C-alpha cells in the first residue's frame, strides 16, 4: 500500500486530495496545525477512529515553520509521496504578514525537501510542491505556460517563488523526484470564505435568502482563470505518477473578470444585475429577480466597493496554457466555469438555508461581510 503525506490537509485542496488518494487505496497521513478549535470540518467525512484496525487516514500535529516536527513526521511515516500544500495562501493577507508568509511558504518548502534528503529518502519519496500562477504576477498580455518568466507581485508570490526554485534546485542537485504544479486559481464549495469566489457565492446565497443586504468587494476588473479544485487535485496526483519529474501548468485556458463572476453567481438565483459608477463608487443593483423562491427587490443595491480589499500591487490578468498537462498527463478538467459557479452557489444555498431556519425561529444570525 502506498503512503502519502499531505501538508495543508485541512485546507480546500488537502481535503479533496486526501479523498482522491484514499479512493486509490493509499494510506493517507496529514499534517494538521494545533489550533484552539478542531478545524477539521473539511476532512471530518474522512476521519477514522485511530483505535480501529487497518486505519488508512492518520493526522499528525505539525507546522511548516518547525523543522524538527517535519523531520520527525517524515521519518515516522516514510512516505512514498509528499504533497506540500500547506501555506499562508491569502495574497492580500501576505502584505500584512510578509515574514511569516516567507517562513511557511518559502522556507517551509525547503524544510520538506531537506528532511527527505537528510533522512536518506531521496530514492523513495516523490515530492509535489504547490506552486502558483501568482508567480507570473506582472507578466501580462499572453497566456502563461511553463516557459513564461516569473514576476511575483506580492509577499505570497515572492515566497512561493523561493518554493518553486528550491524544488527545481533539489531535483537537479540531488536527483530527487520533486515537481512543481503551477496551478491557476481553483475553487469549490470547500474554498476558504475570504477568497473572492466563495465570498461572492456565500453573499449570493445569503442575499437570496434575506440574511444579508449586500456584499463589499475590491477590484472587480481583475481577470482570473478559474477551475474546480476537484479537477486540480487529479492533476497533482498525475504529476507524481510520471516517469520523469517535471513541472506543469494546470489551468482551464479561459479567463473571466470578477465582475462577470458576480453576474454569473447572481444569475443562479434568478437575479440580473446592472453595474454603474466607477472605481470606489461602482455598485451593482438588481434589475430583475425571476425566481419567486428568492424574493430579492428590484432596485436593491447588492454590491459596493470597499477599498480595503484592494492590494498594494495587483495581478490584473491570469490566463494559463495547460497544453503540456493535457498532452503529457492526459489531464482534462470535468468542470467549466458555469458548472463551478452552480456547484458553489447550490452548496451555499444549502448551507445558509439552515441559518435562515435559525433566523425565522428567532435565533441570532452572524454577519458575514468579510
Ligand atoms: P487553503 O488556504 O485552503 O489551505 C492551506 C492549508 O495550509 C490549510 O490546511 C492550513 O492549515 C495549512 N497551513 C497554513 N499555515 C501552515 C503552517 N504554518 N504549517 C502547516 N500548515 C499550514 O489553501 P488551498 O487548499 O486553496 O491551497 C493549497 C495550496 O496550493 C497552498 O499552498 C496554496 O498556496 C496553493 N495554491 C492554491 C491555489 C488555489 O487557487 N486554491 C492555486 C495555486 C496554488 P489551517 O487549516 O490550520 O489554516
Ligand atoms: P488570488 O485569489 O489572490 O488570485 O489568490 P482571491 O480570490 O483572493 O482574489 C482574486 C481576485 O479578486 C480580487 N478581489 C477580491 N479578492 C478577495 N479575496 N476579496 C475581495 O473582496 C475581492 N474583491 C476583488 C482580488 O483583488 C484578486 O484580483 C488565490 C489563492 O488561492 C492563492 O493561494 C493562489 O496561489 C492563487 O489564487 C492562484
The dihedrals phi and psi of 193, each to the nearest 5 degrees, come to -70, -15
Percentage with pLDDT > 90 across the chain: 93
d(CA 55, CA 16): 19
Q: The complex's ipTM? A: 0.99
Among 327, 301, 341, residue whose Cα is nearest residue 188: 341
Whole-number Cα distances in Å, 115 to 78, 86, 153: 11, 16, 29
The pLDDT score that the predictor gives to residue 198 is 98
Q: Which of 16, 156, 177, 294 is catalytic?
A: 156
d(CA 112, CA 123): 15
Whether 196 has a pLDDT exceeding 80, the answer reads: yes
Q: Which three cell numbers stand for residue 182?
A: 503551477
Better-predicted residue by pLDDT, 356 or 210: 210
pTM of the model: 0.97
Whether 361 has a pLDDT exceeding 60, the answer reads: yes
CB atoms within 10 A of CB 60: 16
Nearest CA to ligand 1 atom 33: 89
The dihedrals phi and psi of 164, each to the nearest 5 degrees, come to -60, -55
Interval 69-78: pLDDT, tens: 999 999 999 9
The dihedrals phi and psi of 95, each to the nearest 5 degrees, come to -70, -25
Percentage with pLDDT > 70 across the chain: 98
d(CA 367, CA 214): 11
Confidence of residue 362 (pLDDT cuts 50, 70, 90): low
The pLDDT score that the predictor gives to residue 369 is 46
Whole-number Cα distances in Å, 231 to 227, 247, 250, 254: 8, 17, 10, 15
Q: Residue 145: exposed, middle, or buried by beta-carbon count in 10 A (0-12, 13-18, 19+)?
A: middle
Which residue has cell 517524515?
74
Q: Which of 19, 27, 134, 187 is catalytic?
A: 134
For 55, residues 6+ apart whose C-beta sits below 8 A from its C-beta are 48, 49
What does pLDDT average to over the chain?
Answer: 96
Confidence of residue 367 (pLDDT cuts 50, 70, 90): low
The pLDDT score that the predictor gives to residue 355 is 80
Task: Verify whether residue 360 is a known catalytic residue.
Answer: no
The pLDDT score that the predictor gives to residue 195 is 98
Average pLDDT over residues 42-63: 95
Domains in the chain: ranges and CATH: 3-183 (3.40.50.720), 196-223+257-314+336-360 (3.90.25.10)
Task: Verify whether residue 134 is a known catalytic residue.
Answer: yes
Which is the closest atom of ligand 1 to the Cα of 131?
A: 44
Which is the closest atom of ligand 2 to the Cα of 216?
A: 21
Distance from the alpha carbon of residue 361 to the mean position of ligand 1, in angstroms? 37
Among 73, 77, 63, 79, residue whose Cα is nearest residue 122: 79
Confidence of residue 142 (pLDDT cuts 50, 70, 90): confident
- DSSP SS3 for 115: helix
Residue 123: half-sphere exposure toward Cβ, Cα within 13 Å? 1
The pLDDT score that the predictor gives to residue 140 is 77
DSSP label at 363?
Answer: -
Amino acid at each position: 500500500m502506498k503512503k502519502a503525506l499531505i501538508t495543508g490537509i485541512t485546507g480546500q485542496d488537502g481535503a479533496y486530495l486526501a479523498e482522491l488518494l484514499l479512493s486509490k487505496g493509499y494510506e493517507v497521513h496529514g499534517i494538521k496545525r494545533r489550533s484552539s478549535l478542531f478545524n477539521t470540518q473539511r476532512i471530518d467525512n474522512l476521519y477514522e477512529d485511530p483505535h480501529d484496525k487497518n486505519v488508512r487516514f492518520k493526522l499528525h500535529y505539525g507546522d511548516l515553520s518547525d523543522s524538527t516536527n517535519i523531520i520527525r513526521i517524515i521519518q515516522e511515516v516514510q512516505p512514498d509521496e509528499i504533497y506540500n500544500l500547506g501555506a499562508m495562501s491569502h495574497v492580500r493577507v501576505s502584505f500584512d504578514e510578509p515574514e511569516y508568509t516567507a517562513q511557511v511558504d518559502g522556507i517551509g518548502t525547503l524544510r520538506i525537501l531537506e528532511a527527505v534528503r537528510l533522512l536518506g529518502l531521496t530514492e523513495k519519496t516523490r515530492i509535489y510542491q504547490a506552486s502558483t500562477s501568482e508567480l507570473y504576477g506582472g507578466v501580462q498580455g499572453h497566456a502563461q505556460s511553463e516557459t513564461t518568466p516569473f514576476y511575483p507581485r506580492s509577499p505570497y508570490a515572492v515566497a512561493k517563488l523561493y518554493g518553486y526554485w528550491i524544488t527545481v534546485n533539489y531535483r537537479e542537485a540531488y536527483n530527487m523526484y520533486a515537481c512543481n504544479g503551477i496551478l491557476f486559481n481553483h475553487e469549490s464549495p470547500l474554498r476558504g470564505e475570504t477568497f473572492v469566489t466563495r465570498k461572492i457565492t456565500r453573499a449570493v446565497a445569503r442575499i437570496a435568502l434575506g440574511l444579508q443586504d449586500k456584499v463589499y468587494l475590491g477590484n472587480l476588473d481583475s481577470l482570473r482563470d478559474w477551475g474546480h479544485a476537484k479537477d486540480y487535485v487529479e492533476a497533482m496526483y498525475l504529476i507524481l505518477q510520471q516517469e520523469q519529474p517535471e513541472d506543469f501548468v494546470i489551468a482551464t485556458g479561459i479567463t473571466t473578470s470578477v465582475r462577470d463572476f458576480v453576474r454569473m453567481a447572481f444569475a443562479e438565483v434568478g437575479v440580473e444585475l446592472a453595474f454603474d459608477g466607477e472605481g470606489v463608487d461602482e455598485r451593482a443593483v438588481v434589475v430583475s429577480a425571476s425566481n419567486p423562491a428568492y424574493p430579492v427587490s428590484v432596485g436593491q443595491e447588492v454590491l459596493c466597493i470597499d477599498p480595503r480589499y484592494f492590494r498594494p500591487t495587483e495581478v490584473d490578468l491570469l490566463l494559463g496554457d495547460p497544453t503540456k498537462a493535457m498532452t503529457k498527463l492526459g489531464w482534462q478538467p470535468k468542470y467549466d466555469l458555469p458548472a463551478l459557479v452552480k456547484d458553489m452557489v447550490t452548496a451555499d444555498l444549502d448551507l445558509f438555508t439552515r441559518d435562515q431556519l435559525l433566523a425565522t425561529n428567532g435565533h441570532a444570525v452572524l454577519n458575514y461581510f468579510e
